[in-house]
Amino acid sequence: MDENTILLQQFREYLQIEKNASPYTLTYYTKDIESFYKFLSEESIHFLSEVDYQTVRIFLTKQYDLQLSRRSVSRKISSLRSFFRFLEREEKVQTNPFLHLSLPKADKMVPDFLYQEELEKLFTICDLETPLGQRNQALLELMYATGIRVSECTTLTEDAIDFSLKTILVIGKGRKERYIPFGSFAEIALKRYISDGRESLLKKPNSFPTNMIFLNAKGKPLTTRGVRLIFTNIVKDTALTINLHPHTLRHTFATHMLNAGADLRSVQELLGHEHLSSTQIYTHVTKDRLRHIYMDSHPRAINRDN
């Protein structure tokens, strides 16, 4: 095993142990660093200590030549900047050549979200007489009520739900904990599913005891892929022409909260965002609401003398 491979392995251990990095983060950091290693090999650079600012500029140019998105390039730079910061700490390099490299400005994407009418349609689709229908309704209601990530939803356990306070304890990115309240619609759907549908799923032949709340048709813990498939099938049963992903409900939760007057800091805390800038993408308002505000507020929007 060569030195560069050893350093990458040490960096992975650092991310896991000291930073509590998620498997997703580990995977992409590793891919980004390995692609940089490949570039160094093509440039006949064999030691990380030889990498300088000119080297990283060439690397950046090649990423754009590959027609990668700004977001992908930005992620690679962030990954390598963190890697070289670790190498500096371990005294493997003297300087961090990525330190002063500017991140490309990401395209500002307005998140997809659902209008109230679309949500109401979704909430009438599930067959509440069946275990899977009860589960699907609980999924929809809880994810819209709390804005939790799909990974946070699939790892939700029985003891994480407090019905007396109407809150759930969520383990988010970096193993950070946060409490999120939920309302009466989610409460009703959860109680129905837990007391009825979930009990039925736990009696499936190949099931096994688990404290995970959401189960698949075989009585085993539901995966994130399973949730995405459920949402896809729910849309097929409606007349709606929408792409429903688990993150769509998270976007919808944040958008509706802010449009209804919630402050940005509160929504940031509920979503589990580390930086306020991550929450600010939701500060857009719907065209209908914008028009409503204008018509109600502007002195000359309507001739009120007529």
The span from the CA of 96 to the CA of 41, in Å, is: 19
To the query of whether residue 273 is one of the catalytic residues in this protein, the response is yes
| 250 catalytic per annotation | yes
Active site residue 166: no
CB atoms within 10 A of CB 115: 14
Residue 236 known to be catalytic: no
Catalytic residue among 121, 173, 245, 284: 173
* pTM score, whole prediction: 0.64
Going from the C-alpha of 15 to that of each of 3, 19, 144, 174, the distances in angstroms are 18, 5, 32, 10
> Cβ(268)–Cβ(135) under 8 Å?
no
CB-neighbour burial class of residue 68 (10 A; exposed 0-12, middle 13-18, buried 19+): middle
Catalytic residue among 81, 250, 251, 256: 250
Hey, what domains does the chain have and what are their CATH numbers? Answer: 3-89 (1.10.150.130), 116-290 (1.10.443.10)
Give pLDDT, residue 44: 92
Let me know if 291 is a catalytic residue: no
- Active-site pick, 75, 149, 251, 256: 149
Do residues 182 and 167 touch, judged by C-beta distance below 8 A? Answer: yes
Give pLDDT tens digits along the chain (306 positions): 789 999 999 999 999 998 888 888 899 999 999 999 999 999 999 999 999 999 999 998 888 888 888 888 888 999 999 999 999 999 999 999 998 887 766 555 556 888 888 888 889 999 999 999 999 999 999 999 999 999 999 999 999 999 999 999 998 887 889 999 999 999 999 999 999 999 999 999 988 889 999 999 999 999 999 999 999 888 887 766 777 888 899 999 999 998 888 999 999 999 999 888 888 888 766 556 667 777 778 777 776 565
Compute the C-alpha angle 20/282/185, nearest 5°: 85
Terminal C-alpha separation, the chain: 84
Q: Give the pLDDT confidence score for residue 108 in this predicted structure.
A: 54
Q: Using an 8 Å Cβ cutoff, are 197 and 252 in contact?
A: no
**Per-residue model confidence (pLDDT) at position 107:** 55
Contact 182, 145 (CB under 8 A): yes
